[in-house]
Chain A
Amino acid sequence: MEFSRRHLLGLEGMPKEEILFLLDTAASFKEISDRDIKKVPTLRGKTVVAAFFEPSTRTRVSFEIAAKRMSADFVTLSAPASSAAKGETLLDTARNLSAMQPDALVIRHPSAGAAHLLARHLDCAVINAGDGAHEHPTQALLDLLTIRERKPQFEGLVVAIVGDILHSRVARSNLHALRAVGAEVRLAGPRTLLPRECAAFAFATTDVREAVRGADVVMVLRIQRERQVGNYIPSIEEYARYFCLREEHLAEAKPDVLVMHPGPLNRGVEIASSVADGPYSVILDQVRNGIAVRMAVLYLLLTGAREAMAATREQLQGIPAGKQRRVGR
């Protein structure tokens, strides 16, 4: 298969073949991290810039390690928020970054669509590392890779996603990807955190037990206190009483159920310690696979001359490539 994408903005609408191709490529990169010398020269001379307008450790470090294992140079903007505080718009910040001629820009931003906006205006590849409550494609890809390592067939798998669906980009990306590869998705959470529209995509319930019953995979989402989730639930304690994933819930799931969590964990809030550290937990495998997935994404976006580039741009902007205004220079 030929991978002709210029950017990785989201998984919505990505065909199954492309998702599986990404997973295959990622799987073949895992071996590099097991070597004594954890580095291949593939992306020598390429520069990856990370602009994180929201706090993140795991994702940023994971991207950084992935880029470095591929021999790319990785630059982080420690606080791009500072220039935003000075009144610079996102697009201006990005144009300035772009003028420094990176090959890829990894962006996390509190607003949905931030990565898409930049992809329309910048010359480099744009990788969405989370935009508001919209998408977090590399997280969903690493989740799928982790699932596939234990359960070779996606068709017919039942995946329960439990927690704050409303604010979760992880849930959205996973929902799109899992449906594309043929898995059945169930959503569970308090009614206030369960968007009404999600019923169109998946079975939705307020009963964790019902969602977990017979499930092959349970994905637990983090309660995102930074998104004023307190306004949606009476209290953290009450949330924990009804939605914290405990061993008694898992007894209803398939005997070989996998428990996943995108991290960071709020132990005792959305997941009990005994479950997070228990035999069904693959949380640390997810972290390990995150590196392989990001290596694969960087490899696929940064190598090969792209004939399809103009076409992608045309699609995004809805105007023929030849008629585009020169931007970002």
Chain B
Amino acid sequence: MTGRAVDGICTRTLVVPLSWSSEARKEVDENHDKKFRNQTLCPLVARGLFFAGGEPVTERVVLDAQGVDRALTRMAHEILERNKGVQDLVLIGIRSRGVHLAERLRSKIESIEGASVPMGIIDITLYRDDLSRSRQQPQVKGTRVDFPIDDRRVVLVDDVLFTGRTVRAALDALVDLGRPKNVQLCVLVDRGHRELPIRADYVGKNLPTALDEEVQVRLTESDGRDEVVLVRQGG
């Protein structure tokens, strides 16, 4: 135990989760998105500016629904090109938005190639490196990979690539399931600021960001519409 006893109570160091990117807070704060969605319903957002708790927040749409769809179509083609078809190919989505993206890629690949690709779901919660540091209890929703991944070409799918810590955790989770032939990484947005030596093989959009900005990927399945927005506090 890391904490010291104070008045007979063991306290652990309370640290803010690694960052506020949509990657790093993935399972940590489920309500965060909800809070945000409620805020964005505020009519002032239409004008790109509103005040939350005295802090001005600006939002910029960097990919609209069409942009998201085009990026996914291109990446589906790139995946097929690189792997010369669907032989041994499997898609694994990282919970939760990576799963929606993987499903869409799968249907795109199917319509292009006429063959279906197995798809699995990976929950990285149990592999996080900040479990005893984050304040909230990450909810485990479980991994579901119903096929062997040994000697397969695995395409990991996620929404935002930021520090690389989620991908590190996903790689650890993957090797616990088997020994793939290779692992490729597909992300909708690469926002930079890597903290680990990880790069993506397929990128929907490269988005240079500042550390205090937040990238939000919204998908119809979970958020009611498709878009990628850059949110900035104190604009």
Residues of A within 8 A of B (CB): 1-4, 25, 27-29, 31-32, 35-37, 39-42, 70, 101, 103, 123-124, 296, 299-300, 303-307, 309-310, 313, 321-322, 324-329
Contact = CB atoms under 8 A, between A and B. Distances in A.
A81 to B, nearest CB: 27
B127 A3 contact: no
Given A124-B10, A322-B7, A324-B8, A28 B141 contact: yes
B9 A305 contact: no
Interface of B: 1, 5, 7-15, 123, 126-127, 131-144, 172-173, 176-178
Interface of A is mostly: loop
Given A31-B142, A299-B140, A324 B132 contact: no
A305 B139 contact: no
Contacts of A35: 176-177
A305 B7 contact: no
Contact of A3 (B7, B132, B137): B137
11 contacts: A4-B137, A27-B142, A31-B144, A37-B176, A41-B172, A70-B126, A101-B1, A299-B126, A304-B137, A305-B132, A313-B8
B9 A307 contact: no
A304 B135 contact: yes
Given A303-B131, A303-B137, 17 more contacts: A1-B139, A3-B137, A28-B141, A28-B142, A37-B176, A40-B173, A41-B172, A42-B126, A42-B131, A303-B138, A304-B134, A304-B135, A313-B9, A324-B7, A324-B8, A326-B5, A327-B8
B142 A321 contact: no
Given A2-B137, A37-B176, A303-B131, A324 B143 contact: no
Given A3-B137, A310-B9, A313-B9, A103 B1 contact: yes
Contacts of B140: 25, 28-29, 296, 299
B9 A309 contact: yes
A32 B132 CA distance: 21
A305 B134 contact: yes
Contact of B135 (A1, A307, A322): A307
B7 A304 contact: no
Q: Which 4 A-B pairs have the closest CB atoms?
A: A28-B142, A123-B10, A42-B126, A40-B126
A28 B7 contact: no
A306 B13 CA distance: 10
Given A25-B139, A40-B126, A40-B127, A123 B132 contact: no
